[in-house]
Amino acid sequence: MDNEFEISRRRLIGGAAIAATAVAGSTSATARKLASAKSAMPPRFLWGAATSGYQVEGNNINSDFWFLEHVKLPGGSSPFPDKSGDACDHYHRFAEDIKLLASLGLNSYRFSLEWSRIEPEKGEYSKAELDHYRRMAATCREHGVTPCITFNHFTTPRWFAFEGGWDAASSPELFARYCEFAVKGVGDLAGLATTLNEPNVGLMLQWSDMPAEVKAGMVAMPAMVGAHSPTGTFSIWMAGDQSKKLPNMLKAHEKGFEAIKAGPGDFPVGVSLAVTDDQAVGKGSMRDAKRAACYEPWMDLIARCSDFMGVQNYSRLRFDTEGAMKPPAGAELTSTGEEFYPEALGNAIRYAHARTKKPIYVTENGIATNDDTRRVEHMRRAIASMQSCINDGVPVHGYLHWSLLDNYEWGRYAPRFGLVAVDLATQVRTPKPSAYELGKFARANIS
Ligand code: BGC
């Protein structure tokens, strides 16, 4: 269990060892043809990119994850290879980054509010920090960019983690109270909002193809870290007993939804789920059991308490009678060990819509790779698969690529998901060809 923390969330979902197999390849002509079927695109389609506060801002020292980054494991080692540190210094450079996003032709930006800045101590709210996020939303508006605001992207204040996090019965109320305060600062500028980002991810990790001992380590982790917390307790979204967190997170979405809908502002509010394209292989496949555990409680709630569902997809996962299978032999893998399988996006969208009957926004889709030609190919084919859903009448209203920037991938800087490269030493931004490619889709379809 020594290394159970040395994980990237994405790597765990893919479940395979890191293997950069960036193989440059030619673009599929079919994908290009499908992707240029502009006529099918709904009006005011959101073409954009996403980030999360913790992964790009830097120095979120009041956050649960910052605490986790700095815990010393037995023997004195750190749980993670990299610390987030200054990250992309987006906290200070957001104006430059939003301007860059707009210059690419994108019309929307998904970013998250960092709860630990806005409520640094329980019940003590910071108007000044909320104003920071208001300035971000206002900067988006100045550039004709729709702000898509995530109220919680994984990280919570450390005081919340020390009180039991999402395990605590009080957590839905605490989250709703924070949403009520936060929406007052940004609601009138928001164009779209999500309450929680991938609240099902802890469950997904348990259904991934990662080794059983790593899964067990994830469950045991909060107890180990709790020993370092002032209350003796530490609970974080991705680890621990998910059956305890699920009812509280469901309730948190419901209460947060109500708080955000109370306004100010009038914009769609939803929740984003991690949705792999889960495929059943053979008789007695565990695929449906995974769906029942990881999505269905959420989808039932979304059907009655959400304006839309956010779909976040990176790959597919095949299931036999034992559970998740490894990628097929010889399959191209991304640098976080997932199968290169862009068409997973369309399948995930179809499943999400069939189950919830709600409008869909793709709030994340992307690939970890050092070879941007593979990102371009992945994007083209994923968008083609999304467009085929739209052609079949599925109401998809936006595509927000993960991520705008190369950023902190929950413990490591090595996986590169960004459309824009960031030199961590100089903070210089350099758009990659994939950034211009997404801009082309956006420019072609903005009506
Ligand atoms: C998460 C991001 C993460 C990305 C890539 C998403 O599921 O929302 O925070 O960086 O996956 O792993």
CA nearest ligand 1 atom 4, residue: 10
CA nearest ligand 1 atom 11, residue: 10
How close is the Cα of 10 to the center of ligand 1, in Å?
A: 6
What contacts 383, CB < 8 A, 6 or more positions away?
35, 345, 399, 441
- Give one word for 337, left, alpha or beta, with left for phi > 0 and alpha for psi -120 to 50: left
How close is the Cα of 282 to the center of ligand 1, in Å?
A: 30
Substitution candidate for ligand 1 out of 8, 9, 198 with most atoms within 8 A of CB: 9
Q: Whole-model pTM?
A: 0.92
How close is the Cα of 284 to the center of ligand 1, in Å?
A: 31
How close is the Cα of 133 to the center of ligand 1, in Å?
A: 21
CA nearest ligand 1 atom 5, residue: 10
How close is the Cα of 414 to the center of ligand 1, in Å?
A: 14
Q: What is the CA 414 to chain-centroid distance, rounded?
A: 17
Substitution candidate for ligand 1 out of 10, 204, 210, 361 with most atoms within 8 A of CB: 10
**What kind of fold does domain 2-445 have according to CATH?**
TIM Barrel (3.20.20)
How close is the Cα of 245 to the center of ligand 1, in Å?
A: 19
Q: Which two tokens stand for residue 229?
A: 């917390």
pLDDT at 8: 41
**What atom in ligand 1 is closest to the CA of residue 366?**
5
pLDDT at 16: 23
How close is the Cα of 8 to the center of ligand 1, in Å?
A: 9
CB 383 within 8 A of CB 365: no
Rounded to the nearest 5 degrees, what angle is found at the Cα of 265, between the Cα atoms of 261 and 270?
Answer: 45
Q: Which residues have CB under 6 Å of ligand 1?
A: 9-10, 52, 55, 197-198, 274, 312, 364, 402, 409, 417
Nearest-angstrom CA–CA distance, 100 and 316:
32
pLDDT at 446: 60
**What atom in ligand 1 is closest to the CA of residue 13?**
12
pLDDT at 40: 66
Tens-binned pLDDT, residue by residue, of the chain (447 aa): 333 333 444 343 222 222 222 222 233 443 444 445 445 688 889 999 999 999 999 999 999 999 999 998 778 878 899 999 999 999 999 999 999 999 999 999 999 999 999 999 999 999 999 999 999 999 999 999 999 999 999 999 999 999 999 999 999 999 999 999 999 999 999 999 999 999 999 999 999 989 999 999 899 989 889 999 999 999 999 999 999 999 999 999 999 999 999 999 999 999 999 999 999 999 999 999 999 999 999 999 999 999 999 999 999 999 999 999 999 999 999 999 999 999 999 999 999 999 999 999 999 999 999 999 999 999 999 999 999 999 999 999 999 999 999 999 999 999 999 999 999 999 999 999 999 999 999 999 864
Q: Which two tokens stand for residue 77?
A: 């080692």
How close is the Cα of 101 to the center of ligand 1, in Å?
A: 19
pLDDT at 94: 99
Amino acid making up residue 251: K
Q: Which two tokens stand for residue 409?
A: 């991938």
Q: What single-letter DSSP state applies at residue 126?
A: -
**What atom in ligand 1 is closest to the CA of residue 402?**
4
Nearest-angstrom CA–CA distance, 42 and 386:
12
What contacts 26, CB < 8 A, 6 or more positions away?
none
Exposed e or buried b per residue across 412-444, where buried means at least 16 C-beta atoms within 10 angstroms of its C-beta: bbbbbbbbbebebeebebebbebbebbbebbee
